[in-house]
Amino acid sequence: MLAMIEANLPALQVVLPLIAAPLCAMLGTGRRAWAFATLVSFVAFAIAISLFIATMGGTIISYEMGGWAPPIGIEYRVDTLNAFVLVIVSGMAALVLPYARRIVDYEIPAERQVLFYTAFLLCLTGLLGVTITGDAFNVFVFLEISSLSTYALIASGAWRNKRALTASYNYLIMGTIGATFFVIGIGMLYMITGTLNMADLGEKIAAHGDSRTLRTGFVFILIGIGLKLAMFPLHLWLPNAYTFAPSAVTAFVAATATKVAVYVLLRFMFTIFGFDYAFQAATLENVVLPLAIVAMFAASLVAIFQDDLKRMLAYSSIAQIGYILLGLAFLTHTGLTASIVHLFNHAVTKGALFMVAGCFIYATGSSSITSLRGIGRDMPWTTAAFVISGFSLIGLPLTVGFISKWYLVQAAIELGWWPVALLIMGSSLLAIVYIWRVVEQAYLQPAPEGAVRREAPLSMLVPTWILVGLSVWFGVSATMTVGAASRAATSLISSSQIMWQ
């Protein structure tokens, strides 16, 4: 029995939340649905951890869906990189769901909570599926499962602020355009190769050589995924979606959805197109690199002038995605390591910050920064969590943010790109400004008279502080995360076909 479960772990990782979702819809009350969804997320996390441990030594688990051998059948392929991302996604779900109970009670009417948790499980299914699959078209299907449920989750913020509806609608339009571009790109690749299996695609494309169809396919995929991961000029859906979504959804989606999209980009760029595909290198250096730098500055600048805490953090997310893309655009092992480790570090940091924002909303009923005046005295634990995660966002030493920036700067220096290294440090200064604005309101301003604000409940504080603890723990001893990221970068580079000249 145990051996059978172990052999089928890659399938269970996705199938478990998928089957749990309709069951969850039948549970009747929000409380029961919450307990069930939380339990499922814990099991999914355990599966991800065991896959992570199994692949740690560099073994690649290949699982044939339904017993059909790849490249004809759909293959689930787990290596160090996607096991790492699986841990991020399922781990965030396992932390956000316990956190969600109180804030969902507060933000979503009781009769709709069952459907809320169902959509949450579907979103988890989609994100895990995108990460684990080794089939290019399967990525699209899971991407749409996660996106469609995310649109519904964001729209459920409408009970608090009706602008969630238009935010969700705009995200739906842009997300669908992105997904369709992605399918067109896959179509181009299929035209050349006649296969959809990623490893097989990589081999056949390397044998096929460069062509106009391949370049067109590459650009379509880059733009399509760029829309999903909010690459700088394609980020317009993100601020409103994050601002008006229910707090638990923002914390989960901000920490995972864009990360999974980055993973897809990495997978396509390296496993499928190949590490040294010249057209890709030129695109990264001439298009993605400047855009990433612009994102770091423009989005941080805009974040400084926001009056809403969640919107400020959303803009900061766009800037952080800039860092991730920057590491990718270096096209070196160190750069990739920095990108991958920042996937984890940013998920932990931004997850904690959005959870803090949720605690503030729970206590004050508002997410505007002015409503936080003097809150440091009323909610010391929540505010302290904000300050420490804020340090991590800036990149101060002893936090995970520092580790990411350290490797990014190191990658820039390795290439001799001093200006880029200076720009990375310069953009951190902007983060100090917008974090300071909140800290100033929270600690240095007097509380408005007659304000009754109680510390957030324990069920919300504990998950928040677990994330804060992680961001300090892995900031002090980064061997584990950096080691995993470095192994993942190695496996990415070795998975690409070095036949390009």
Partner 1 sequence: MSELVLDLEFIVGHYNYWMFVILMMTGLYVTVSRGNLVKKIVGLNIFQTSVFMLYISMGKIIGGTAPILIDDPDAVYSNPLPHVLILTAIVVGIATTALGLALVVRIRETYGTIEEDELLVLEHEMEFAEAVQGGGSR
**Hey, which residues between 447 and 466 contact partner 1 (CB under 8 A)?**
448
Comparing CB distances to partner 1, the nearer of 141 and 493 is 141
- Contact between 187 and partner 1 per CB under 8 A: yes
Rounded Cα–Cα distance for residues 384 and 359 (Å): 12
Q: How far is the CB of 420 from partner 1 (least distance, A)?
A: 34
Which region among 176-184, 260-268, 434-442, 480-488 touches partner 1 (by CB under 8 A)?
A: 176-184
- Contact between 216 and partner 1 per CB under 8 A: no
**Residue 472: which of 375, 415, 413, 403 has the closest Cα?**
403
- Contact between 191 and partner 1 per CB under 8 A: yes
Comparing CB distances to partner 1, the nearer of 82 and 367 is 367
Judged by DSSP in three states, 135 sits in strand
- Contact between 423 and partner 1 per CB under 8 A: no
Comparing CB distances to partner 1, the nearer of 44 and 158 is 158
Q: What is the DSSP string of 159-222?
A: GT-THHHHHHHHHHHHHHHHHHHHHHHHHHHHHHHS--BHHHHHHHHHHH---HHHHHHHHHHH
**Hey, which residues between 146 and 165 contact partner 1 (CB under 8 A)?**
148, 151-152, 155, 158, 162-163, 165
Comparing CB distances to partner 1, the nearer of 371 and 495 is 371
Structure tokens at 160: 């608090």
Q: Among 211, 370, 459, 477, indicate the residue that binds partner 1 (CB under 8 A).
A: 370
Rounded Cα–Cα distance for residues 346 and 352 (Å): 10
Q: What is the DSSP string of 31-100?
A: HHHHHHHHHHHHHHHHHHHHHHHHHTTS--EEEEGGGPPTTTS-EEEE-HHHHHHHHHHHHHHHHHHHHH
Q: Where are the alpha helices (DSSP H) in 305-445?
A: 309-329, 333-364, 375-378, 380-394, 400-414, 418-439
Cα 252 to the center of its chain, rounded Å: 8
Q: How far is the CB of 371 from partner 1 (least distance, A)?
A: 7
Q: How far is the CB of 139 from partner 1 (least distance, A)?
A: 12
CA 64, 69, 75 angle in degrees (round to 5)?
Answer: 40
In Å, the largest CA–CA distance within the chain is 72
Judged by DSSP in three states, 368 sits in strand
Structure tokens at 347: 């998920």
- Contact between 168 and partner 1 per CB under 8 A: yes
Which region among 39-47, 183-191, 259-267, 394-402 touches partner 1 (by CB under 8 A)?
A: 183-191
- Contact between 440 and partner 1 per CB under 8 A: no
Kindly give, in sequence order, each residue whose CB lies less than 8 Å from that of residue 163, ignoring residues fewer than 6 positions away: 240, 244
Q: Among 37, 47, 183, 355, indicate the residue that binds partner 1 (CB under 8 A).
A: 183
- Contact between 490 and partner 1 per CB under 8 A: no
Q: How far is the CB of 308 from partner 1 (least distance, A)?
A: 9
- Contact between 166 and partner 1 per CB under 8 A: yes
- Contact between 213 and partner 1 per CB under 8 A: no
Which region among 22-30, 179-187, 222-230, 423-431 touches partner 1 (by CB under 8 A)?
A: 179-187
Q: How far is the CB of 368 from partner 1 (least distance, A)?
A: 5
Q: Among 50, 64, 65, 180, indicate the residue that binds partner 1 (CB under 8 A).
A: 180
Which region among 27-35, 134-142, 254-262, 280-288 touches partner 1 (by CB under 8 A)?
A: 134-142
Q: Among 42, 106, 190, 297, indicate the residue that binds partner 1 (CB under 8 A).
A: 190
**Residue whose structure tokens are 């001093």:** 418
**Residue 169: which of 188, 155, 184 has the closest Cα?**
155
Rounded Cα–Cα distance for residues 89 and 260 (Å): 8
- Contact between 24 and partner 1 per CB under 8 A: no
Rounded Cα–Cα distance for residues 143 and 126 (Å): 6
Kindly give, in sequence order, each residue whose CB lies less than 8 Å from that of residue 318, ignoring residues fewer than 6 positions away: 230, 232, 235, 238, 239, 295, 299
Rounded Cα–Cα distance for residues 63 and 55 (Å): 13
Rounded Cα–Cα distance for residues 192 and 215 (Å): 11
- Contact between 116 and partner 1 per CB under 8 A: no
Q: Among 19, 141, 236, 447, indicate the residue that binds partner 1 (CB under 8 A).
A: 141
- Contact between 121 and partner 1 per CB under 8 A: no
Q: How far is the CB of 125 from partner 1 (least distance, A)?
A: 14
CB-based contact 492:327 (threshold 8 Å): no
Q: How far is the CB of 226 from partner 1 (least distance, A)?
A: 16
Comparing CB distances to partner 1, the nearer of 6 and 307 is 307
**Hey, which residues between 350 and 369 contact partner 1 (CB under 8 A)?**
368
Comparing CB distances to partner 1, the nearer of 168 and 271 is 168
Binding site for partner 1 (CB under 8 A): 137, 140-141, 144, 148, 151-152, 155, 158, 162-163, 165-166, 168-169, 172-173, 176-177, 179-180, 183-184, 187, 190-191, 194, 196, 307, 368, 370-371, 448
